[in-house]
Amino acid sequence: MKNLVFLGAPGAGKGTQAKRISEKYDIPHISTGDILRANIKAGTELGKLAKSYIDKGALVPDEVIIKVMQARLAEDDCKKGYLLDGFPRTIEQAKALDEITKVALAVNIAVDDEAVVARIAGRRMCACGESYHVSTHPSDVCDKCGAKLYQRDDDKEETVKSRLEVYYRQTAPLIEYYSAKGILVDVDGMKDVAEVTDSIIKVIDGNC
Ligand code: AMP
């Protein structure tokens, strides 16, 4: 069963790879960041609460995000597998996830620190879900839908620093957590997008 978790620092390429991999295996791509941003846009209570944390580069409290994921993972489409992007982000969340479902494989997309900062600074998003980098896509409109691209507020420099700090303190320990369970694989995230996708497909086919 393809019950997959993607790990990696902000800017490692989790979202980009998750999109490609979920299409290849026809499993839902579940991004907690996307769920929270959709709630902010819709002005829900969850969105209002999440915004106050996201704007600071801090994590939304575990109990809030765990409830969101309990509901999402109970949906029918997750019966055929799932790809989690941005969850779990703390040991507490990983333990809660283990109570909900059995994770088959955790893929850690490893990148250098400097690359992460440069990638995030140049990242541009489209409301349709596509994302681009200014170095490879200088135009400010989306190739897929033609809408104007924008920079995520939390991709601005000050917030990125906090997000990286949070990553190393709270999320990086998950590498050890999944490694101890014998289900962690590392993938070199410094190669180009298509090569990283190929490496991920190889490890999934070899392990699930
Ligand atoms: P992302 O799009 O994955 O980079 O997430 C953007 C922001 O949403 C993060 O910096 C956190 O503030 C929040 N967030 C996303 N996923 C989680 C999670 N699993 N736990 C806590 N906060 C989260």
| pLDDT digit string, tens, across residues 159-178 | 888 899 999 999 999 999 99
User: Do the domain assignments include residue 129?
Assistant: no
62-73 and 45-54 helices, crossing angle to 10°: 130
DSSP letter (8 states) at residue 138: -
pLDDT-derived band at 115, boundaries 50, 70, 90: confident
pTM comes to: 0.93
Give mean pLDDT, residues 29-57.
96
Question: Does residue 117 have a pLDDT over 90?
Answer: no
CA pair distance 78, 97, nearest whole angstrom: 13
Place of tokens 């409109």: 141
What is the three-class DSSP state of 42?
Answer: helix
With a 6 A CB cut-off, is 178 part of the ligand 1 pocket?
no
Nearest atom within ligand 1 for CA of residue 36: 8
pLDDT-derived band at 158, boundaries 50, 70, 90: confident
pLDDT-derived band at 102, boundaries 50, 70, 90: very high
User: Do the domain assignments include residue 35?
Assistant: yes
Nearest atom within ligand 1 for CA of residue 163: 10
With a 6 A CB cut-off, is 94 part of the ligand 1 pocket?
no
User: Do the domain assignments include residue 139?
Assistant: no
With a 6 A CB cut-off, is 51 part of the ligand 1 pocket?
no
Report the pLDDT value the prediction gives residue 161, as an integer from 0 to 100. 86
CA pair distance 199, 191, nearest whole angstrom: 10
CATH number at residue 14: 3.40.50.300
Give mean pLDDT, residues 110-126.
90
Task: Cite the active site residues.
Answer: 14, 89, 123, 152, 163
Pairing of strands 131-133, 123-125: antiparallel
Question: Does residue 118 have a pLDDT over 90?
Answer: no
CA pair distance 104, 184, nearest whole angstrom: 9
CA-based R_g, the chain, Å:
16
Domain coverage including residue 10: 2-111+170-207
Contact 103, 61 (CB under 8 A): no
User: Do the domain assignments include residue 25?
Assistant: yes
User: Do the domain assignments include residue 28?
Assistant: yes
User: Do the domain assignments include residue 57?
Assistant: yes
Give mean pLDDT, residues 75-92.
97
Question: Does residue 195 have a pLDDT over 90?
Answer: yes
User: Do the domain assignments include residue 159?
Assistant: no
Per-residue pLDDT tens over the stretch 123-154: 999 999 899 999 999 999 999 999 999 999 89
With a 6 A CB cut-off, is 123 part of the ligand 1 pocket?
no
38 C-alpha to ligand 1 centroid (Å) = 12
CA pair distance 195, 58, nearest whole angstrom: 32
With a 6 A CB cut-off, is 36 part of the ligand 1 pocket?
yes
Contact 58, 110 (CB under 8 A): no
Contact 131, 123 (CB under 8 A): yes
Nearest CA to 107 out of 206, 15, 8, 176 is that of 8
User: Do the domain assignments include residue 150?
Assistant: no
Structure tokens at 178: 């999944």
**Counted domains in the chain:** 1
Report the pLDDT value the prediction gives residue 193, as an integer from 0 to 100. 94
Give mean pLDDT, residues 176-202.
97
What is the three-class DSSP state of 39?
Answer: helix
36 C-alpha to ligand 1 centroid (Å) = 8
